[in-house]
Amino acid sequence: MKVIAFNGSARKDGNTALLLRTVLAELEQADIETELVQLAGKPLRGCTACMGCWRNKDGTCVIKNDSVNDYFEKMVAADGIILGSPTYFADVTTEMKALIDRTGMVNRANDDRLQRKVGAGVVAVRRGGSMHTLQTLQNFFLIGQMIIPGSSYWNIGFGREPGEVAGDDEGIKTMVDLGRNMAWLIHKLGN
């Protein structure tokens, strides 16, 4: 069993990473292998709407000069996928949107290879716009026929400077509960 997590922050090892690592620690406790991919500093462009993935139907994006195809492969190989993003102008980061649009379109063009995997969104925020950000992340899972577990609150942690989110006790508890529920669901599904 494996869960792959993506941190869409432009800032490596910041608040989103801290929240994601909290979820991943619970999954590890439940004997689920985890991997965290941080998108910061890596080239990642958006979808060019060339529709090459629909023509080729080979499970890849035609843009080969970045890591999106590796990321999609990691998603296909995993039992669960976590998308984490800080809130940027009440939505996900540009890098996370590029990941969503390109892997989401490759998935749709290839008979929903991510169908029935477990998916969860995680959001860091200073003050406002986090619910919309979470919804953007969850839209990826829902249209891909994936299954989303709940937690004891929506999956949001409050903080501005790197590490500040550790002081949001309820946010951290939400991540712990999310990790436990995700692990429970993955074991139940036993894919």
Ligand X SMILES: Cc1cc2nc3c(=O)[nH]c(=O)nc-3n(C[C@H](O)[C@H](O)[C@H](O)COP(=O)(O)O)c2cc1C
Name 86's bridge partners.
Answer: 124
How many positions of this chain bind ligand X (CB under 6 A)?
19
Q: Which of 126, 147, 166, 185 binds ligand X (CB under 6 A)?
A: 126
* Minimum gap (Å) between residue 161 Cβ and ligand X: 7
Q: Which of residues 71-90 bind ligand X (CB under 6 A)?
A: 86-90
* Nearer of residues 6 and 88 to ligand X, judged by Cβ: 88
Distance CA 102, CA 49 (A): 9
Distance CA 129, CA 90 (A): 4
162 binds ligand X (CB under 6 A): yes
* Minimum gap (Å) between residue 129 Cβ and ligand X: 4
Stretches 23-31, 97-105, 120-128, 140-148: which one binds ligand X (CB under 6 A)? 120-128
* Nearer of residues 144 and 179 to ligand X, judged by Cβ: 179
121 binds ligand X (CB under 6 A): no
Where helices occur in the chain by DSSP H, the ranges are 15-29, 52-56, 68-77, 94-109, 130-143, 169-189
Q: Closest by alpha carbon to 32, among 4, 2, 76?
A: 2
Q: Which helix (H) or strand (E) holds 113?
A: none
Residue of minimal CB distance from ligand X?
14
Supply the angle between the helices 68-77 and 94-109 in degrees, to the nearest 10: 60
Instruction: Using CB under 6 A, list all residues that contact ligand X.
Output: 9, 11, 14-16, 86-90, 124-129, 159-160, 162
